[in-house]
Amino acid sequence: MNKPWARRAVGAGIALAVGIAVSGCAASGGDTGGGVSGDGEYTGPDVEVTFWHGWTGGAAPKIVPELIEEFNAEHENITVKAVPQEWADVIAKMPLAIKAGKGPDVAVLHGDDLATFAAQNLLQDAGGIIDGLGYTAEDFPPTVFDKGNFRDAQYAVPWSVTPLGMYVNKTVLAKAGITEIPTDEASYLAALEALKGVGVQGEWVDGYVFTGTFEFQSLIWQFGGDLYNEDVTEATFNSEAGVKALTWMTDLVKNGYSPANVAQDGNIKALIAGETAFNWNGVWQTTNTAFADLDWAAAPVPQIGEEKAVWSSSTHWVFPQNKGQDQNKTAAASVFVKWMNDNSLGWAETGELPAANTVRDDPSLLEQYPNLEPFMSELEYARYETVSPGIAEANAQITLALNEALTGKKDPQTALDDAADKANQIIEANQAKYGD
């Protein structure tokens, strides 16, 4: 998925409460250089900072250069050079580049990739940098900062969060005489039944990552379960809560509220075409230009289970541990990271929520982007990626189970049990590959 970026923000300058820590931030324990003053200005020699990211679609090709140009203009001794490429290429190329001493000085990774890179000693322990920047977990939405922590070391600074929400075609909803957007299981099922009464299948549920997997994860957490045990040594998505979540989804098909065999992205297309009323999808859809002629609204996902919970992804700044890394570049890169977070209010323009609380709390954000309000309201109970090296391959088994159950090939329990067996084999292999 191409993650969108956004533009301008609040205030041009950065003012750090304390100076960047200049020792102990490299994983090897080496000198991290210096050149950063107490007011957050880099005072070292002129450096060029290389920045890798995967934002190549949407508005990103325009927005990223604009922000970097602005940063460079404000910092005479720092020149940031961006190297945009597909996310898959970032993940594939960066390990070898870092080991050869040719990787970036700063990069952005998704939350489920952080542990994989950290386990391979590809990232600097950023604890000293983060302390110097004055960041703590309280500066970001609950639990997202912890996603950068692996084996008791902090490797990342949060950049953005992208929670799931519910999109509503209000014109379709009105066909069933419904004026209130449902918020819980009772009102949601009542709405689906009313829509069925006028010939509308109200939610098209699919067995793909976008968006069936995200719906399943939201539901298993709402039903009190989790994807893995606490130390991520065993898959638990086949628990009673997991079966309940997947059964709830398959019942949408069984009860005629959803067609069977929904194609990937078929649900959002159906919403836009006026063929369905509800679609659980990410905040990035708020920028969908196809909504221009639609009478639509966004809302938090309904609380189907006993707990409030919703899936969200996250992206984070990291400082690669290049062979022979120039720590003046790392120091300059840390100034860049702080400036970017401070100036991230406009990031929402292309469908992401800035991770920095101070930016999201700025009233002008919702004044400019009012459709983000329901997504922002979910951050108090949003859940993020599992921290474990190589976890993405295990997560893929969840999607496979959903597809098998929703297409009727297996019942929910069997589908999840089979997927959990495969996921446990992958976890065991990852432990051998990356260490406990």
Count of Cβ atoms closer than 10 Å to residue 48 Cβ: 12
Residue 384 CA to residue 163 CA, distance in Å, equals 9
> By mean pLDDT, which of 49-63, 124-138, 232-246 is the weakest?
49-63
Residue 427 CA to residue 235 CA, distance in Å, equals 8
pLDDT single digits (tens) 297-351: 999 999 999 999 999 999 999 999 999 999 999 999 999 999 999 999 988 887 8
**pLDDT band for position 29 (50/70/90)?**
very low
Q: What is the mean pLDDT of residues 278-291?
A: 96
Residue, of 412 and 65, whose pLDDT is higher:
412
| pLDDT at res. 41 | 79
Helix 391-406 with 240-254: angle, nearest 10 deg: 40
Q: What is the mean pLDDT of residues 399-409?
A: 97
| pLDDT at res. 37 | 58
3 state DSSP class of 32: coil
Q: Give one DSSP letter per residue of 10-21, joined into a string.
A: S-SS---SSPPP
Residue 252 CA to residue 397 CA, distance in Å, equals 22
Q: Are 221 and 386 in contact (CB under 8 A)?
A: no
Residues 6+ apart with CB under 8 A from 430: 388, 389, 390, 391, 393, 394
Task: Answer whether residue 145 shows pLDDT above 80.
Answer: yes
Closest CA to 83 of 65, 100, 67, 71: 65
Count of Cβ atoms closer than 10 Å to residue 45 Cβ: 12
Burial class (CB in 10 A: 0-12, 13-18, 19+), 13: exposed
Q: Which residue has the tokens 């050149």?
A: 35
Helix 111-119 with 87-99: angle, nearest 10 deg: 20
| pLDDT at res. 60 | 66
Residue 227 CA to residue 402 CA, distance in Å, equals 14
| pLDDT at res. 63 | 76
Closest CA to 147 of 193, 179, 115, 124: 115
**Alpha helix (H) residue ranges in 224-326:** 240-254, 266-273
| pLDDT at res. 28 | 33
| pLDDT at res. 346 | 83
| pLDDT at res. 65 | 86
pLDDT single digits (tens) 51-75: 999 988 776 667 788 899 999 999 9
- Number of residues that this document lists for the chain: 436
Residue, of 24 and 114, whose pLDDT is higher:
114
| pTM attached to this predicted model | 0.91
Task: Answer whether residue 26 shows pLDDT above 60.
Answer: no
Count of Cβ atoms closer than 10 Å to residue 190 Cβ: 14
- CA distances to 10, 312, 342, 397 from 358, rounded to whole Å, are 9, 20, 8, 38
Q: Are 286 and 296 in contact (CB under 8 A)?
A: no
The average confidence (pLDDT) of the chain is 91
Task: Answer whether residue 193 shows pLDDT above 60.
Answer: yes
- CA distances to 48, 54, 90, 102, 192 from 65, rounded to whole Å, are 15, 13, 18, 22, 45
**pLDDT band for position 3 (50/70/90)?**
very low
**pLDDT band for position 17 (50/70/90)?**
very low
Residue % of the chain over a pLDDT of 90: 85
- Show the domains of the chain with their CATH numbers: 47-162+313-383 (3.40.190.10), 164-310+387-434 (3.40.190.10)
Q: Are 60 and 84 in contact (CB under 8 A)?
A: yes
**pLDDT band for position 16 (50/70/90)?**
very low
Residue 14 CA to residue 340 CA, distance in Å, equals 9
Burial class (CB in 10 A: 0-12, 13-18, 19+), 292: exposed
Helix 111-119 with 391-406: angle, nearest 10 deg: 140
Closest CA to 108 of 315, 343, 383, 351: 315
Task: Answer whether residue 14 shows pLDDT above 90.
Answer: no
| pLDDT at res. 411 | 98
Q: Please report, as a single letter, which amino acid is at residue 74.
A: E
Cα dihedral 426, 430, 432, 433 in deg (nearest 10): 130
